[in-house]
Amino acid sequence: MNNPFSLLLRPFAMLYLSNVQLRNKLFDRKLFKSWKSPIPVVSIGNLSAGGTGKTPLVDWVVKYYLSIGCKPAIVSRGYLRESKGVQLVSDGQKIMLSSREAGDETAMLAWNNPDAIVVVSEKRKDAVSYIAHHFAKRLPGVIILDDAYQHRAIDRNLNIAVINTEEPFTKAKMLPEGRLREPLKNLSRADLIILNKITDAEKAGIIMRELEKTGRPVIKARVKTGELICFSGISASSDEAPLSKNLNALAFAGIASPENFLESLRKEGVTVAAHRFFRDHEPYSAKKIKGIRREAEKKGLSLITTEKDYFRMLGRPELISMITSRPCYYLKIETEIFEGKEILHSMLKAAINK
């Protein structure tokens, strides 16, 4: 859908583009220096502002490294966290912080990968330096920079760009007119491109032909629906089969692409009788949660949210307690690499052996 304010926002988008490209030229000409980490670095990021499925991909990469005996450390800014500075979220043995201090996605990655070190910091270089010092006697084998395609202050052994097939590609526009953080031609910095969220082979094929012009390997991936987890401690009512089968629900989420969440639920057999959407990463308040609960109670519905939203609420346990008068679930999702997995494995291994 076109932005009705597109023409008004275009001058700001052009100014944003100019600033982005000037900064990139300064790095390209070595006037701005990229710091070399003492630990191999893999960066996973995107050109657009959210919605590419990057976090499940980070989770996939972390699990791959663990499967080959390489202990990873995740470094993130911890978007919208309430803490400041360098914070240790997990030491690979114990979770130290909640989503309130770590950020929802970062907390989710830590809980789903308890063997991984996780650190947040506004300055990623400070986080990497902290890991190198604090874990000097048991250094991780790789640092995974989350959402760092635009963060060129740290050199990387492998630079991965994630593209969402469901967003406009050749017609994409810069922020704030559109959702691009930098122009598509800057994919030339990537060592590897992952075309994600593929549901339409024809649409993916059009984008593939454009991506092939970069000369970079392109991996194909899609979002795979995982388990539907009950977190209220109350089972579904007797006229509903366990979990997803014939479940009638109110779905709520604060993510970049809520329509994809609804589609995933429907594919799992969930009847979405009502839904409430909020901005991506939007903090939940008691007022919002009570409103969701009242609507579910009035309509006799269960509540379903995303895993990311569940972890966001988990940072404030009182919010969870407000909705557990109803059966409550969150849906797990995973990245499925269905073409080019061997290339991805090879390049991830090469990154830690350079």
Could you tell me if 153 and 127 are in contact, meaning their C-beta atoms sit under 8 angstroms apart? no
3-state SS class at 151:
coil
Predicted confidence band of residue 241 (pLDDT cuts 50, 70, 90) = very low
Alpha carbon distance 56, 45 (integer Å):
12
Average pLDDT (320-338) is 93
Average pLDDT (230-243) is 53
List, for residues 126-153, the tens digit of each pLDDT value.
999 999 999 999 999 999 999 999 999 9
Backbone angles phi, psi at 343, to 5 degrees: -65, -45
What are the DSSP E strand ranges found in 72-217? 72-76, 87-91, 117-120, 142-146, 158-164, 192-196
Predicted confidence band of residue 235 (pLDDT cuts 50, 70, 90) = very low
Which residue type, as a one-letter code, is found at position 60? W
pLDDT value of position 239: 40
pLDDT value of position 2: 57
Least confident range from 227-236, 261-270, 286-295: namely 227-236
Alpha carbon distance 177, 152 (integer Å):
24
Predicted confidence band of residue 168 (pLDDT cuts 50, 70, 90) = confident
Average pLDDT (323-338) is 93
Burial of 34 (0-12, 13-18, 19+ CB in 10 A): middle
pLDDT value of position 167: 83
pLDDT value of position 50: 77
Average pLDDT (27-32) is 96
pLDDT value of position 169: 82
pLDDT value of position 171: 84
pLDDT value of position 257: 81
CA separation, residue 97 to residues 54, 66, 102, 255 (Å): 22, 22, 6, 22
List, for residues 75-96, the tens digit of each pLDDT value.
999 988 999 999 999 999 999 9
pLDDT value of position 234: 53
Q: Output the average pLDDT for the chain.
A: 92
* Residue 327 pLDDT > 60: yes
Alpha carbon distance 69, 189 (integer Å):
29
Alpha carbon distance 23, 25 (integer Å):
5
Predicted confidence band of residue 240 (pLDDT cuts 50, 70, 90) = very low
What are the DSSP E strand ranges found in 14-133? 41-46, 72-76, 87-91, 117-120
Average pLDDT (56-83) is 96
List, for residues 207-217, the tens digit of each pLDDT value.
999 999 999 99
Average pLDDT (40-54) is 91
* Residue 34 pLDDT > 90: yes
Alpha carbon distance 51, 180 (integer Å):
11
pLDDT value of position 226: 87
Average pLDDT (100-109) is 95
Could you tell me if 48 and 167 are in contact, meaning their C-beta atoms sit under 8 angstroms apart? yes
pLDDT value of position 4: 67
pLDDT value of position 142: 98
Q: Which two tokens stand for residue 237?
A: 């009512």
DSSP 8-state code for residue 324: T
* Residue 3 pLDDT > 70: no
According to DSSP, the β-strands at 87-91 and 117-120 are antiparallel
pLDDT value of position 119: 98
Percentage of residues in the chain with pLDDT exceeding 90? 82
